[in-house]
Chain A
Amino acid sequence: MRSRLFKPTLIWLQGVTCNGNTHSFLNLPYLPQLLARFEILYHPLLPCSQNLEEIARCRRGCDVLVFEGAFDPMMERAGVTLERLVAYYAEEAGHVIAAGSCASFGGIFKAAAPERNSGLAYAGEHPDGPLLGKAGKVINLSGCPVHPEWLGFALMNIAEGRPISVDALGRPTALYRHMAHDGCLRNEYFEWKVDAEQFGRKEGCLFYEHGCRGPLTHASCNRTLWNGVSSKMRVGTPCFGCTEPDFPRRNLFETKTNMSIPEEVPVGVSKRAYLTMTGIAKSFKIKRLEERLTDDD
């Protein structure tokens, strides 16, 4: 019965960050219950038993290290380099969680300083970073920011002592085996190749002209909704592929096309098959999909 009483200790450290993952996490509906399962030694906002200066002394390790932000070896927290802090706490921790795309792959802040910043075990999609040798320990929860429910899922599994299986980029398969496209309310338009004529409409798919990366992005944003209620595509914004190692790409509101066919096709589909299918689907004229859906507004 020891496992029920045993509380893993947790330290949440920040590298080069905007604090978005910290704030995203505060949206978790079962936050109090989750926090009760851990002994929080340090967190940048939530109540915790130690302060940053105590943490920087590197005297006592933790069971779970959550790291937010890109890794810049020379950056200091309370006068101690991240290089030393990460090396020390990762050594003892049973689990290291890279919370968000910066910690996973470098993200926005790798794009800002590519020569210095990286993720913990990856720089973009290349295995690199201070914890490369410990990559087995690192759970990458990519996303800009991390979805609160994904972090909740990983931490609850750790608290319950359940193993977490991960994909080739270290992301939990349970969360990242789906595409962001999965569950999108615009899927019917996607199938029949009907693009949203313009922004600001609930009708139409955003893949063909408006830059949506849903079919190319491993994420469950439309299965587990953001803030419990929505997602980018639900409000007509394209998916920017923020969970992938190449985030942030360029020209985010546009789709690169070749003879009006998107240059990149959905993951797992051959380009040829896709072209053939597109031709056929486009030949159907489905009246319902070409009209506006509601006039109640």
Chain B
Amino acid sequence: MMTKALIEHIEGEASLYFDTRGEKITWAEIAFPHFRGMERMLEGRKATDALVITPRVCGICGHAHLMATVRAIEAAYAQAGYPVELTRKARSIRELTLVLEMIQNHFKWLYLVILPELEKLGVGGISPAPLKGAYAAAQATKILALFAGQWPHSSYMIPGGVTCDPTHLERIQAAGLLDELIGFFEKETAGVGLDALLSFASCREFNPLQSDLGRLEKGLIATEMHKKGMAYDRFVVLGEHGFTVRARLKHTRPMKADPSQVSTEPAVCRDETSHARNVRYGKHFYEVGPLARSISADTALIKNMHRRYKDSVYTRVMARAYETAVLLQHAKTLLAELELSEPSYVPPAPLERISAEGEGIVEAPRGPLMHRMRLERGIVAEYGIITPTQWNLGSSVMSDPAPAQKAMVGAADIAEATFVFRSFDVCSVCTTH
């Protein structure tokens, strides 16, 4: 029997179509119905206009799109023989604001999506407090805005650097706000100090925690999520950053990853037109996101979880929640090491001279985000975007399911399958753009 479920609270909606035997899920297809035409509208525009348009692909990760765009333009400069010079300062400010966007995303997902959904599965004592997520996210975006001007939808990264020129005043303000946010995270989310949490080596260490993270961990075990939702146990990280390592992984074994191996095709759904795409590396589907990043970065705790519970919902969810701590720590380091004396911006060659192709890749909250463009004398001739959710949430045929499809098969019922689906942090707007 085919059953349809409408999934919302995922930056738009998706439809899931289930084949079931009894209650059990035997097959699932995924459709994303909304399409907006972002790539086409860039054609014919000056490449720098893309810095204003592409953040509007997504209200929750627009900054990642901005960074992918600026990296793609800079790559085109390099290909055309005019390499762009970036100061260390410009690099670290860009990375800092990106990391803060990831932090706000993770807080929202944990408090507005995952904890309430876990409670719906019948786990007691979760007491979800969605507004905590909004509060913490707003603190993170406040720090971000000190450098980027605003969030969402800033356009402060430009070829050659950043437009801002922060002084120690902003740096100290930012450090104060970040300490406050870390304090909130320690008290409310973790129930333990950041340093202590970051030194966790085994899931047992969550046992004594009376905190949201502690309740999350127990709830996932209570619902047996450590035995469910396995995908391929293959991962890809493509963005290059200080908090993870570019790699392709089979289980935990890393190999080189080459972005030119990435390809896409339209997603398949028998019952509804879907505007999503399937993304593969070589011939295969891979999972992307915080779990991939943590394994690639050799994060002790997540590797321990993976050793016990493989790429289950438990490991996937805990990896995302735990990455918040890793990123808070990374933000702190970036801020402390920020060298303000360097220039923010080194003017590049005139854009009109650039006829070339460029690719920009960043790790967005949900995984690698790729922008590819072709420029003719500085004007966009072609623009293509591959988003992380397309990797995880494609929809393919039974003999070759996309990661989320594979993870949902075998779920006890529809409620459980949709929780598995949400463990990937679904984003409808990015999936279709």
Contact = CB atoms under 8 A, between A and B. Distances in A.
A109 interface: yes
A248 interface: yes
B67 to A, nearest CB: 15
Interface stretch (B76-84, B263-271, B342-350): B342-350
B150 A231 contact: yes
Contact of A199 (B38, B116, B163): B163
Interface string B30-52: 00011011101100011011011
Given A236-B165, A251-B49, A16 B34 contact: yes
A183 interface: no
B155 interface: yes
Contacts of A228: 142, 145
Tier of interface size on chain B? 35 or more
Nearest to A32: B131
Interface in B223-250: none
Nearest to A111: B41
B145 A226 contact: yes
Given A19-B59, A232-B154, A199 B41 contact: no
Contact of A230 (B49, B149, B168): B149
A144 B56 contact: yes
Contact of B150 (A19, A29, A226): A226
A16 B130 contact: no
B6 A235 contact: no
B421 interface: no
Interface in A120-176: 144-145
Contacts of B167: 202, 294, 296-297
Interface in B202-230: none
A52 B156 contact: no
A268 interface: no
A77 B13 contact: yes
A235 B134 contact: no
B65 to A, nearest CB: 10
B48 A237 contact: no
B345 A200 contact: yes
A19 to B, nearest CB: 4
Contacts of A199: 158, 160-161, 163, 344-345, 347
Contacts, number: 194
Nearest to A20: B59
Contact of A47 (B48, B130, B142): B130
Interface in A77-100: 77-78
B38 A112 contact: yes
Contacts of B369: none
Given A52-B13, A229-B173, A297-B167, A235 B147 contact: yes
B279 interface: no
Nearest to A242: B153
A200 B165 contact: yes
Contacts of A28: 138
A235 B12 contact: no
Interface in B131-148: 131, 134-135, 137-138, 141-142, 144-148
Contacts of A234: 149
B345 A108 contact: no
Given A19-B59, A26-B137, A227 B144 contact: yes
B138 A229 contact: no
Contact of A18 (B130, B150, B429): B429
A278 interface: no
A202 B166 CA distance: 8
Contacts of B108: 26, 45
Contacts of B149: 226, 230-235, 237
A234 B36 CA distance: 32
A105 interface: no
A121 B62 CA distance: 27
Given A26-B138, A198-B347, A235-B164, A252 B6 contact: no
B276 interface: no
Given A18-B56, A202-B165, A227 B6 contact: no
A200 B429 contact: no
Contacts of B141: 27, 227
Nearest to A234: B149
B153 A145 contact: yes
Given A198-B347, A250-B46, A237 B163 contact: yes
Contacts of B150: 221, 226-227, 230-232
A111 to B, nearest CB: 6
A113 B37 contact: yes
Interface string A20-62: 1111101111011001000000001111000111000000000
Nearest to B52: A252
Contacts of A75: 34
A248 B146 contact: no
Contacts of B147: 235
Contacts of B13: 52, 77-78
Given A24-B152, A230-B149, A237-B156, A19 B60 contact: yes
Most buried by A among B6, B151, B153: B153
B388 to A, nearest CB: 16
B11 interface: yes
A223 B146 CA distance: 16
B162 interface: yes
A229 B170 CA distance: 10
Contact of B40 (A17, A112, A226): A112
B409 interface: no
30 contacts: A16-B36, A17-B59, A18-B429, A20-B58, A21-B59, A28-B138, A31-B131, A31-B138, A44-B12, A46-B112, A76-B33, A77-B13, A111-B41, A198-B345, A198-B347, A200-B161, A200-B162, A200-B343, A229-B173, A232-B155, A232-B156, A235-B163, A235-B164, A236-B156, A237-B149, A237-B163, A248-B53, A250-B45, A251-B48, A253-B158
Interface of B: 6, 8-9, 11-13, 33-34, 36-38, 40-41, 45-46, 48-49, 51-53, 56-60, 62, 90, 108, 112, 116, 130-131, 134-135, 137-138, 141-142, 144-156, 158, 160-168, 173, 340-341, 343-345, 347, 429
Given A44-B12, A145-B152, 14 more contacts: A16-B34, A18-B57, A29-B138, A47-B130, A53-B6, A76-B33, A109-B36, A200-B162, A226-B150, A227-B138, A229-B142, A237-B149, A252-B52, A297-B165
